[in-house]
Amino acid sequence: GGLPTSGNVFVSVSDADKRQLPLLAVRLVELGFTIWATEGTASVLRRYGIDSVIVDKLSSQGDTAKDMSNSEKAHERIGKNVVELIENGKIDMVLNTPNSRGSRTDGYAIRAAAVAADLPQFTTITEFAPVLMAIEAVKNNDYQVMSIQEHAQQLFAIEQAESQESRA
């Protein structure tokens, strides 16, 4: 499907990607999205004061019955796993970067559910950052439609101007 300009985004990122997440999460919230995240990802967001709805991955299903700490009480917890939420139309976009073997199994099920629901999904932080820029451009009506040839001409003109400036 097309990129949503608001709604619910499921986010679950690998440990290696958690350092880059807060900046993207702040942008998501600024753009009007609600973040739905797995426990580990929600924990990182919580440290930066970013609210999220906590959901289960498949391999952690059933953990929602545990007592919540004081810091978790500020975050809503949903008793359904992310695949059920996707199937029920509660999720509008998915960012899921793989980590361990279990998360690959979960990731496969999450991606399959997202494909079946025709949702946009992303598996790397690198590909997700420009998506946020595109969503912002659409929301701000700050874009032009042009052919690839027109775009190439525009880039060529910019490169030529920069080249002439550097010679001066």
Q: What pLDDT, in 10s, does the model give residues 68-97? A: 343 443 455 666 789 999 999 999 999 999
At residue 64, the pLDDT reads: 40
Going from N- to C-terminal start, the domains of the chain cover 7-143
Q: What is the mean pLDDT of the chain?
A: 85
With CA atoms as reference, report the closest residue to 136 among 36, 33, 12, 20: 33
Does the pTM exceed 0.85?
no
CA distance 111 to 49: 28
Return the pLDDT at 69: 40
Give 23-37 pLDDT, tens digit per residue.
Answer: 999 999 999 999 999
pLDDT at 164 over 80: yes
Q: What is the CATH number of domain 7-143?
A: 3.40.50.1380
User: Which structure tokens are listed for 24?
Assistant: 């993207």
Are 142 and 30 in contact by the 8 Å Cβ rule? The answer is: no
Q: Is the separation of the CB atoms in 82 and 55 below 8 Å?
A: yes
Are 39 and 61 in contact, with CB atoms under 8 Å apart? no
Contact 90, 117 (CB under 8 A): no
